[in-house]
Amino acid sequence: MGSKVIQAELWNRSAHDWASLQEKTSLPCYEYILEKLPVMAGENLLDAGCGSGYFSQLAHRRGARVTGLDASEKLIEEAKKREPGLSFICGDIESLPFPDKSFQSVCALNSIQYAENTSDALLELRRVLTEKGKLVTMIWGNKEDCQAFAYLKALGSCMPPSPGSGGPFLLTENHMLQDKLKDAGFKLLHEIDLPCSMNYPDLNIAMRGLLSAGPSSKAIGYSSYEKVYEAVSGALKPYIQNDGSVRLENKFRIVFSEKAAT
């Protein structure tokens, strides 16, 4: 079926809220990646799973020639509004519409875990990289390091059991992502579990941001908006600060790798 068919509808539902409220919570991770990634001015960079184009915009401002790809038509529309001069394409991470060796760098940030088949997606990302091209992947850190686990657990209570599914932390556990990268022909260079807090001025904004994500849409489709809202808002209560703001302390696992010689 491919990732696009599955993910497009889920992420289309609240694309504007994702673009305006949620995507920017990853800024510390994006800044770290851009500091560590040796992108030369004018080099081609693929933002695979670009969302509404926030990272693409930041990379472009560092001098990269950026192409963004995402499964969601609505998120691509938001990306084009954010940075009209960049190339944004709606497509499937498991079947990339680019020739071999098109990019010196590829970033798959909070996207690879949504591929229907992670191994197939990594092979596609490797195919479009030049020799010794760099791949950066970003996923959730360990459950115990992520207060957002409470939100994700609440979503899970609104969905049917999925036998065999490891959920959003599957690639984190037992270093599965790193193993899959090596199996796909990548050499691991550097990794870090980077602290990154999600901050919202109040509970309403937090709910709009968190419920804009694809997994939230899936839960809403199975249950109802009201049931999901009740479950998630209840899970967030311990993280409401004295001033009414909401703060979730998390860590994201960022892995830098290089296309190994065949």
Over pLDDT 70: what percentage of the chain? 97
Cα of 9 vs its chain's centroid, Å: 16
Alpha helices, DSSP H, located in the chain: 3-12, 15-17, 27-36, 54-61, 73-82, 118-127, 149-156, 176-183, 203-210, 214-222, 225-236
* The 65-70 sheet, strands edge to edge: 87-90, 65-70, 44-48, 103-109, 129-140, 246-259, 186-200
Domains of the chain (ranges; CATH) run: 3-143+167-198+250-259 (3.40.50.150)
Mean pLDDT across 141-168 = 86
**pLDDT by residue (tens digit) across 10-51?**
999 999 999 999 999 999 999 999 999 987 778 999 999 999
Q: What is the mean pLDDT of residues 101-126?
A: 95
Instruction: Examine the pLDDT at 211 and tell me if it is beyond 70.
Output: yes
Can you give the length of the chain in residues?
Answer: 262
Q: Is 164 left (phi over 0), alpha (psi -120 to 50) or beta?
A: left
Here the tokens at position 237 are 């209560």
State the pLDDT at residue 68.
Answer: 98
Burial class of residue 50 (count of CB atoms within 10 Å of its CB; 0-12, 13-18, 19+): buried
Residue 162 scores a pLDDT above 90: no
Mean pLDDT of 210-221: 95
Over the chain, what is the mean pLDDT? 94
The CA-to-CA distance between both ends of the chain, in Å, stands at: 29
Tell me the pLDDT band of 164, cut-offs 50, 70 and 90: very low
Helix, strand, coil tally for the chain in percent (to 5): 45, 25, 30
Residue 2 — left, alpha, or beta (φ > 0 → left; ψ -120 to 50 → alpha)?
left
- Residue 165 predicted with pLDDT over 70: no
Q: Check residue 33 and give its pLDDT.
A: 97
- Chain CA centroid to CA 77, Å: 17
